[in-house]
Amino acid sequence: MSDLLNLDAAFVEITEYWSPRVVAVANGQYLKIARVKGELVWHAHADEDELFMVHRGTFGLKFRDGRDIRLRPGDVFVVPRGVEHFPYAEEETEVIFFEPASTKHTGDVISEKTRSIEEQVRHFSRPS
Ligand code: NI
């Protein structure tokens, strides 16, 4: 059995922006959290849908067709596989996302904000 996870406590430990952290795993899917502010990069995930929720703040997603979505606490949004998106946050925001273990958070785009899966799972101890 895994330990009880409290998201408020988990977010307190995150100080770096745009650096996802794995906090739970189930059925080959990772629950990740990130503190974000500013902009990430345009990217897509060829084979994976990406589910976003907001814990605190406002999370923006722009799309090539001009759509600009703002997620607030309680909102859920799924970016379908293959759809290019540009994540951003005007204020410091706490984001929760759910995706397969293999998903790279900046797709195949490498930027200075790109973090490897190994970096994302570093703080996570699997239930034994
Ligand atoms: Ni993405």
Half-sphere exposure of 60 (CA within 13 A, CB side): 17
The reported pLDDT for the residue numbered 103 is 73
What is the 128 CA–ligand 1 centroid distance (Å)?
30
- C-beta atoms surrounding 35 within 10 Å: 23
- Conformational region of residue 104, where left means phi above 0, alpha means psi within -120 to 50, and beta covers everything else: beta
- Cα 121 to ligand 1 centroid, rounded to whole Å: 17
Centroid of ligand 1 to alpha carbon of 42 (angstroms): 8
Residues paired with residue 54 on neighbouring β-strands, in sequence order? 95
**Beta-bridge partners for 21:** 33
Task: Measure 57 CA to ligand 1 centroid, in angstroms.
Answer: 18
What is the per-residue pLDDT for 80? Answer: 95
Distance 23 CA to ligand 1 centre (A): 18
pLDDT in tens, the chain (128 residues): 778 999 999 999 999 999 999 999 998 899 999 999 999 999 999 989 999 999 999 999 999 999 999 999 999 999 999 999 999 999 999 999 998 877 777 777 777 777 777 777 777 766 54
Confidence (pLDDT) at 81: 94
For ligand 1, the distance from its centroid to the CA atom of residue 44, given in whole angstroms, is 6
pLDDT at res. 99: 86
How distant, in Å, are the alpha carbons of 7, 10, 66, 82, 127 from that of 4?
10, 11, 40, 34, 11
Domains along the chain with CATH numbers: 7-105 (2.60.120.10)
- Pick the closest to residue 106 from 21, 19, 38, 37 (CA basis): 19
pLDDT of res. 128? 43
